[in-house]
Amino acid sequence: MDRIRITGGQALRGTIPISGAKNAALPLLIASMLTEDRLTLKNVPNLADVNLLVRILRNHGVDLGVDGKRPGTAMHLGETFHLTARDIVDTTAPYEMVSRMRASFWVLGPLIARMRVAKVSLPGGCAIGTRPVDLHLAGLKALGAEIDIDAGYVIARAPKGLHGAHIVFPKVSVGATLNVLLAAALAKGETLMENAAREPEIGDVASCLAKMGVKIEGIGTSTLRIQGRDRLEGAVHTVLPDRIETGTFAMAVAATGGDVMLEGARAEDLQAALDVLVETGATVEATGTGIRVKRNGGDIKPVSVETQPFPGFPTDLQAQLMALLALASGTSVIRENIFENRFMHVQELARLGADIQLHGDTATINGVTTLKGAPVMATDLRASASLVIAGLAGEGETMINRVYHLDRGFEQLEQKLSRCGANIERLASG
C-alpha cells in the first residue's frame, strides 16, 4: 500500500491548478443513465472514486469513451468523458461495488425512473457516521416508487413510472436531494422540492439536466421546481472546479506560509471557508483566473467555527481547518454539526504534537508553537488531507500511511504541492 513522505517547513509558492469537483462529477456521470443519447462531460478529474463509478456504470450498460488532455490545454482542466446509455442491461448495483463508495447509491434514482425497477445495495464509503438513506427512500416513495429492503438491498419498483410530487425534506441532505433530482427528471409532471441542499455541486447537476431538456426553476436555492420529461436529450457540460480541493490547498498555504494562485477556483463556491481563512490572518484575493492565497509572516489567529450545509462552513474542510488551527496563537473551537464521527483525525494530529480536546460534537484546539513529524495513518478522505497539511507545516519527516483515501478525492496531490516547493513524495508499496 502506497505511503506519502513529507519533510515539513517549506513555504508554498507558485500556482496550483484546481481539478474538476469530485462531488459534481460523480452524480453527473450517473445522470448519463437518464438518456439514450450521448452525454459529454468535460473537466472530469482522474480519481479512484471516478474510476470505480465508471466500472459500476459499465455494469449497467453505459458505454464510455475518454479524450485525454491535449497539448496546450489549461493545467486545471481534466479529461473529457463521452457516455452513452443506449440500453440499460442490468438494473442491479451489487454490494461489492456500492459498498466501496457511498455516491454509487445515487444510481437508484435514474434506474427506477428509466427502467421502473432497480435493485441497489445499501451504501458504504468513509466511516464517518451512519448517514442513513431514509430521506432518499422517502423522496422516491413520494414520486411513486414501491420500495422494500431485503438482504441489504433496496428493491424499488414503479410499474406505471414515477410521477411528480411535493417533497419537503425534514433536514438538508445532499445525497437525498441528488437522488430525487435525478429521478424527478423523468417523472411525469412537476416535482417541487423544499429544503433541498444548495451545494454548488447540486446546482451543477441541475444545470446539466437543464441542458438535457429538463425545466428546473430555483437552481442554487433550497426550493427546486422540476418539470419531468418523457425523454432526455444528450448534452455537453463542463464540471465545475472542486471547492474542497480549493479550500484544502488554501489552508495548506495559510499553515505553511507563502503565496499561491489556485488556478481555476471560484470564490463564490466556498466564501464561508475563505472568510474563516481571512480571520486566521491569511490574505485571500479572488481574481479573474482563480484565488490567490498568501500568508507572509504573522501568527495564525484562533477562530471559532461550526460546520453547516452550504453556504455555511463545509464539513469537508473541517479536518483541514483543524490542522491549520493546531498552530494558532491561542485556543480555537470547532463544532461538527453534520457527521457524528468526523473527528477521527484528532488522534493522528495529536501524534504530530497537536493539543486537541474533544467534548461530544465539539473540538477545542489549543495552538502549539510547532508540530513535529511522525508516522500517521489516514482514516478517511478529508482526514488524510489534514495530515498532509500538518506534515507540510511541521518540522521533520511525516509518513502518511493508507493514502488510498487521498486518491479517492485529490488528483495528483503530491505533484501539485511539489511544484510549489513542498518536499513531498509518494512511496510505492513494495
Active-site annotation holds for 208: no
Measured CA to CA in angstroms, residue 136 lies from 167, 172, 179, 183, 251 at distances of 11, 11, 6, 11, 33
pLDDT of the residue at 98: 85
- pLDDT value at position 76? 57
**Can you tell me whether residue 104 is helix, strand or coil?**
helix
Say if residue 133 carries a ligand binding annotation. yes
The verdict on whether residue 134 carries a ligand-binding annotation is yes
Give the whole-angstrom CA distance, residue 175 versus residue 15: 33
Confidence (pLDDT) at 130: 47
Report CA-CA distances (Å) from 100 to 39, 56, 216. 25, 11, 32
pLDDT tens for the chain, residues 1 to 430 = 789 999 999 999 999 999 999 999 999 999 999 999 999 999 999 999 999 999 999 999 999 999 976 655 555 578 999 999 999 999 999 988 888 888 899 999 999 999 999 999 988 544 434 457 899 999 999 999 999 999 889 999 999 999 999 999 999 999 999 999 999 999 999 999 999 999 999 999 999 999 999 999 999 999 999 999 999 999 999 999 999 999 999 999 999 999 999 999 999 999 999 999 999 999 999 999 999 999 988 899 999 999 999 999 999 999 999 999 999 999 999 999 987 777 889 999 999 999 999 999 999 999 999 999 999 998 888 889 999 999 999 999 999 998 888 999 999 999 999 999 999 999 987 5
Q: What integer pLDDT is reported at residue 305 of this predicted model?
A: 98
Q: Is 429 annotated as a binding residue?
A: no
pLDDT at 126: 42
C-alpha cell at 240: 465545475
The vertex-366 CA angle with 363 and 368, nearest 5°, equals: 135
Question: CB under 8 Å to 415, separation ≥6 — which residues?
Answer: none
135 is in an annotated binding site: yes
What is the distance of C-alpha 197 from the center of its chain?
14
Going by C-alpha positions, the residue among 234, 389, 197, 214 that lies closest to residue 309 is 197
416 in a known ligand binding site: no
Cell 464561508 maps to which residue? 272
Q: Are strands 223-227 and 190-194 parallel, antiparallel or unpaired?
A: antiparallel
Please give the full DSSP string across 198-224, using - where no structure is assigned.
--HHHHHHHHHHHHTT-EEE-TTSSEE
| Cβ(408)–Cβ(46) below 8 Å | no
CATH of 3-14+241-427, one of 3.40.50.11310, 3.65.10.10, 3.40.470.10, 1.10.630.10: 3.65.10.10
Neighbour count for residue 234 (Cβ, 10 Å): 17
**Which residue reads 456504470 in cell numbers?**
57
Cα–Cα distance between 148 and 384 in angstroms, integer? 36
pTM, whole model, 2 decimals?
A: 0.95
E-assigned strand segments in 337-406? 355-359, 362-366, 375-377, 397-401
Grid coordinates belonging to 252? 495548506
Catalytic residue, from 126, 142, 197, 319: name it.
126
- Closest listed residue to residue 273, CA positions, set 240, 320, 241, 239: 320
